[in-house]
Structure 1
Amino acid sequence: MNNIGGNDSCPCGSGKKYKKCHGTSNVVEIGPGRYNSQLERLHSGLIAFAFNEYEYELGKIT
């Protein structure tokens, strides 16, 4: 594969320079507050899913 320079056209066909298109990092940094709230939302959703999908099985355990 050829090395693509930052000022070369992006191979995706967008017409943008590579450094302004796929050459940039797609990583988004988030603070601990947002991270924790997203983690809590995921946890709550997982618990709700488990109860909705496996209510009968969970009822037999208790």
Structure 2
Amino acid sequence: MAWRNAWTMLALLIAGQVAMSSGAYLWGPLAPFMVAELDVSKAQFGAVQSAFYVVGALMALPAGVL
């Protein structure tokens, strides 16, 4: 019975990772539409996108300590 719980947990973890990572992979294809809709330059859009990754990297440090 324990192996069944382990596979269920693994499936849930993989599904969560896919859901969380999809946001990172959607920036590229959606960028032209978002730049046009929000009326921002490509540099501004890139700065906002980079800010998400910088914050994520900074938050990974204290999370790793936990």
Q: Same fold (TM over 0.5)?
A: no
TM score, norm. by length of structure 1: 0.39
Which one has the largest radius of gyration?
1
TM score, norm. by length of structure 2: 0.38
Indicate the structure with greater helix content: 2
